[in-house]
Structure 1
């Protein structure tokens, strides 16, 4: 299972400053979630730019450089723990996407091809890797290409998985577009991961800070204080850079 963190801000800043005090404890999770890292940022020309490597984040000289040199007001960062049987490779590393959007997932579902009919052969042919997570992205992308907004696209793709998959552990994900950052959370309480990790393992929490930032993140390090709010299951958190508007949408 992977870990996710996203942030938006009122003013562009280096990614390291965008995450501020949350960055170091999040990157410490790479000790366990060490099968790859991926960073996506919104760039000034209104597109999305992503960089990823199939290596532990602590070993990533490229990541260290990007944290200091990439300036943005919206970003997502993913630490991968590969599902059993899936190779550690660039093609299977998150985020997935292009210059319009970047998508990162924490969880798994089976069978991997359960969304293929929804995705369609044209988009399916663009898949680089073997993961269920990339299929989740392509199902979201199918819906946005068909005209849905990101909120509805995320909810409908999750509905497809829930109704058709034999099993799933978590559908937690982050989606970054030129307009903003979106977070979705849902897990199956019957998953064996919950029995091993504990009920709160798949929670997503978010907060705003006095210095003009908003952060959403997986669990795994101390997130103390009342400023952190839990994102309700089957809801999308929409985070708008610049205005720092946060909106929770129900399914």
Structure 2
């Protein structure tokens, strides 16, 4: 139940230069609702990954921009709305970063024990958080390291495996690997968590846009050598929604899509 944003650019840029101050203002508004921490991970010009996380909500667009002051060729930004079963420690905040992979997930996989059952003993010991999302990350990382397909195909294999155990869960996720972006659009039957928002004092009239039936839709836009991908909650007029049950591989100004059903790819 979180919000995610990613940008990938032909020329490395700061977060502010990549997405505009107006969009960062909208992210700051979103953080008032999704207020259980936030983080960012980015790929430098040499492809190495770095990250920053906080278990407090960002106070302003300026604070988000400051965390994104390093120039990057690709970046993830995550605003957390914690699932009821997960903790509120810094280790629970995404993006998760390990080796050459950064990852964030919008959804809840319950019970968590069913995700853990898909992991090896070594993978379970490596987990540092109380979240189901980190277990999802472990599956994706395993497939990227051991799968026989392309990176997009290997991410898709992890999603298909999870879908067998969680037929209704939202599996939407962003994966940053080797300086490239892979986006999972697979919302399942997960409803918009209106009751959870109401428990925090927000109603449909006071929530930011996109907290309705479109809540689990991811969209993107490409302009001036940069591609921005985001969940709802920011102004997406003229953006392109991703097809359901797909993994889309993004490079700057280019993308290709794999259908999770195994149908032919689109480009």
Residue 200 of structure 1 corresponds to which residue in structure 2? 214
Structure 1, gaps ≥5 residues long? none
Deviations 1:224-249 (A, max 9, x none): 13xx11101111121114xx212122
Q: Select 1:215's aligned residue among 228, 233, 239.
A: 228
> Does 2:245 correspond to 1:231?
no
**Paired residues, what number?**
243
**CA RMSD for the aligned pairs?**
2.1
Q: Is the 8 A contact 2:55 2:93 kept in 1?
A: yes
**Structure 2 runs not aligned, ≥5 long:** 196-210, 261-267
Cα distance in 2 for partners of 1:165, 1:188 equals: 9
Counterpart residue number, 1:188 = 188
Find 1:247's aligned residue among 237, 256, 262.
256
Give how far 1:200 is off.
0.8
Q: Provide the rounded CA distance (Å) in 2 between the counterparts of 1:214 and 1:154.
A: 20
Quote the Cα distance in structure 1 between the aligned partners of 2:257 and 2:24: 24
Instruction: Tell me which protein shows more helix as a share of its residues.
Output: 1
TM-score by length of 1: 0.89
Query: Which residue does 2:164 correspond to in 1?
Result: 163
| 1:43 is the counterpart of 2:44 | yes
Partner SS for 1:45? coil
Q: TM-score, normalised by structure 2?
A: 0.84
CA distance in 2, matches of 1:44, 1:158: 29
Distance 1:195 1:93, change over 3 A: closer
CA contact (8 A) 1:49 1:98 kept: no
Task: Work out the CA distance in 1 between the residues paired with 2:158 and 2:110.
Answer: 14
Q: 1:64: Cα distance to partner? A: 4.1
Q: Where do 1:87-106 residues align within 5 Å?
A: 87-106=87-106
Partner of 2:71: 71
Residue 115 of structure 1 contacts residue 160 of structure 1 at CA under 8 Å; is this kept in 2? no
1:61-120 deviation line (CA, Å, top 9, x unaligned): 8644222x2101110100000011322111110011224010000011111122334321
Q: 1:207 Cα deviation (Å)?
A: 0.9
Q: Deviations over 1:5-39 (max 9, x none)?
A: 00111111112111224222123200100101110
